[in-house]
Amino acid sequence: MQKLITSSLIALLTLFITPVLIPIRFIAKRIKRSRVYREVSHRDCSECGNHLGADSLARASQQFKTMVQDFKNKYPSMRINFGRPFAAICTHCDCHYDYDPVEKVIVPTATVA
């Protein structure tokens, strides 16, 4: 009897919490994206002094898409599950930057091959 009550309680909690957790995940992702954009748009490159901006974000996004497509072509049967290795790439000197969520700043990283 107690096992039935426990499983029913778990099912009800899952039913009521899931519609709340899904929008929270999307809202958190959007907040992070806006923080990264704000940080990149107010930053200059540490290597060349060029202003980072929307172009550097677009370049990082395009390079990540290319990396994913190359991985899919190389390993077509594998499931891809990895995050973006960088947030921005300088359009002048190719310096890669990543977002540090603890410090909430953009930090230079090693170039990803």
C-alpha dihedral, 48 to 52 to 55 to 61, nearest 10°: 100
State whether the Cα torsion 101-103-105-108 is positive or negative.
negative
Tens-digit pLDDT profile for residues 16-35: 888 877 888 889 889 888 88
CA distances from 36 to 41, 58, 96, 100 (A): 8, 12, 14, 9
| Annotated domain spans of the chain | 2-109
- The pTM of this model reads 0.67
pLDDT at 4 > cutoff 80: no
- In the sheet with 88-89, reading across from the earlier edge strand, the strands are 88-89, 96-100, 105-109
pLDDT computed for residue 73 by the predictor: 92
Q: pLDDT tens for residues 33-51?
A: 888 888 888 888 888 888 8
